[in-house]
Amino acid sequence: MPVSTSRFKRIAVIAAIPVCLSAQFALADVKVLERYIGKWDVRANTLQPEASTASYQETYEWVLDRKFIRGETSRKQDGGFDIVFGTFDANADGYPFWVFSSSGTYLYLPPAEWNSREQTMDWKNPSSLDINYRSRCHFPDNDRRQCHMLIKDWKGKVILEIEWTAERRSD
């Protein structure tokens, strides 16, 4: 059965999309993502709904031809651990992250905005969501990361508030 010209054009356009996206990524400032690469000691303080403290390790590495970073935590005090993926999205001009937990939950962080003057990465949820999500990580130097996250429901009630500090390991 011959392939119609219009169908062939659609297939060619779809096949070209990954090439275009990878070419755009090459223009991104990957030095922002490079800040995550390495091993980290993390101390996290849950402020709401119940106060608690956790300490664990994170390890980030480049994967998929340096198009993504992949992070993994050690086991936490509650027995769980997380896997994180991050990248640069040229269409959104930001850095989306995905966090997958061994508990079965996951979180998509819409593309963060990098502020080179303040050395901060800010995530804000799109207005179409029923939750209000804000997170910020400040990189005071190459070996420290200070972050805060606040999630509220549509009524404004705090679902989760956490602050954490990560310090680069020397090993």
State the pLDDT at residue 109. Answer: 87
Structural domain spans, the chain: 30-168
* For range 128-140, the mean pLDDT: 90
Average pLDDT over the chain, rounded to whole?
85
Confidence of residue 129 (pLDDT cuts 50, 70, 90): confident
pLDDT in tens, 43-91: 999 999 999 999 999 999 999 999 999 999 999 988 999 999 999 998 8
State the pLDDT at residue 124. Answer: 92
How many Å apart are CA 166 and CA 160, to the nearest integer?
19
Confidence of residue 126 (pLDDT cuts 50, 70, 90): confident
Bridge partner list, 170: none
Confidence of residue 169 (pLDDT cuts 50, 70, 90): very high
* For range 28-33, the mean pLDDT: 78
State the pLDDT at residue 125. Answer: 85
Residue 2 confidence (pLDDT) above 80: no
State the pLDDT at residue 31. Answer: 86
CA distances to 76, 82, 99, 117, 122 from 86, rounded to whole Å, are 21, 13, 9, 22, 14
CA distances to 42, 53, 54, 133, 164 from 153, rounded to whole Å, are 27, 23, 24, 9, 22
State the pLDDT at residue 115. Answer: 95
- Superfamily (CATH) of domain 30-168: Calycin beta-barrel core domain (2.40.128.20)
